[in-house]
Amino acid sequence: MIPTTNRSIPRLSWKFALDITCILLALPIWAPLMILLILVTRVGSPGPIFYRQERVGLGGKHFSIWKFRTMQASAETQTHEHYFHELMAVDRPMTKLDAYGDARLAPFGRFLRASGLDELPQIFNVLCGEMSLVGPRPCTPNEFAHYEPWQRERVNGLPGLTGYWQVNGKNKTTFNEMIVMDLFYLENMSILLDLKIMLKTGAVIAGQLLESQQAAQRNRTEGNRTKVERGGIPTSVPGTAIRMGFETDHPTNTAFENKWTAIDPRVNE
């Protein structure tokens, strides 16, 4: 475990009380929804229902988060790890790899990720005191090992299911912008701010679902266009590139885009 800071890291009693209150009040909503998603995951793709992954929590302490599995059971994870490491190094928005088309996704995987419902089992991490409903998203130990000293300050608070970064740009922001937002939240935590973030999360999720559907439609359109331009060559041929535009004010990095847009588009068919 890499040390983060010499200052003490308090656990806020009001935060745990707020989390428990919100979870209990929302129990009639999230409990049936979780049961439904368990059935969907089981029917949609063979393999385990849940996916467990080691993450870095408060003060750099490691813990395991739980998620609904959104990838094929045999999917490799190195592609995502390499992709994120490059995002950390370049000044690019943190567009999800899913946006380019990812053949590793299981049925309903795109929807679960776009809606954030794959994170729903982390309610139990909150109940165990390992997470909060609001806070910086927990990173993996491998990612944390590449953090600069100032970036490690983001683990001076409990990681969250949602947070200030998630409702203020999320994948349209760069890695360093995410860190700055996380640090801003940690310096300004309050009951009112947490409630505002929770309320805003629903609208953000709706927007993410709309963007996901639009991206899938663009992929299908580009795939059909490629098929015509290539004289009828099926777009399911591995290695066929789909060119995705980045709708952002950040400087263009053509080499970076080209590298990660050469993804097998069969997932979008």
| 25-60: pLDDT as tens digits | 999 999 999 999 999 888 888 889 998 999 999 999
pLDDT at 8: 45
For 252, list phi and psi in degrees, rounded to 5: -75, 140
Q: Angle 188-194-196 (CA atoms, 0-180°, nearest 5)?
A: 105
pLDDT in tens, 223-240: 666 555 655 544 443 333
pLDDT at 239: 37
For 69, list phi and psi in degrees, rounded to 5: -65, 130
In a domain, 31, yes or no: yes
Of 219 and 185, which is predicted with more confidence? 185
Q: Predicted confidence band at 252 (pLDDT cuts at 50, 70, 90)?
A: very low
In a domain, 70, yes or no: yes
Which run of H or of E encompasses 210? helix 191-229
Give 212's contacts (C-beta < 8 A, 6+ positions apart): 98, 110, 111, 113, 114
For 187, list phi and psi in degrees, rounded to 5: -80, -15
Give 257's contacts (C-beta < 8 A, 6+ positions apart): 244, 246
In a domain, 40, yes or no: yes
Number of folded domains in the chain?
1
Where in the sequence is the domain holding 112, given as residue range(s)?
A: 16-268
Give the rounded percent of residues in the chain with a pLDDT score beyond 70. 70
pLDDT at 230: 59
Asked if residue 264 has pLDDT above 50, the reply is no
Q: Predicted confidence band at 216 (pLDDT cuts at 50, 70, 90)?
A: low
Of 81 and 107, which is predicted with more confidence? 107
Of 153 and 89, which is predicted with more confidence? 153
In a domain, 192, yes or no: yes
In a domain, 7, yes or no: no
The pTM of this model reads: 0.74
Report d(CA 65, CA 119) in Å as an integer.
9
Question: For residue 220, how many C-alpha atoms fall within 13 Å in the half-sphere facing its CB?
Answer: 8
In a domain, 218, yes or no: yes
pLDDT at 153: 96
Q: Angle 241-110-268 (CA atoms, 0-180°, nearest 5)?
A: 35
Asked if residue 258 has pLDDT above 80, the reply is no
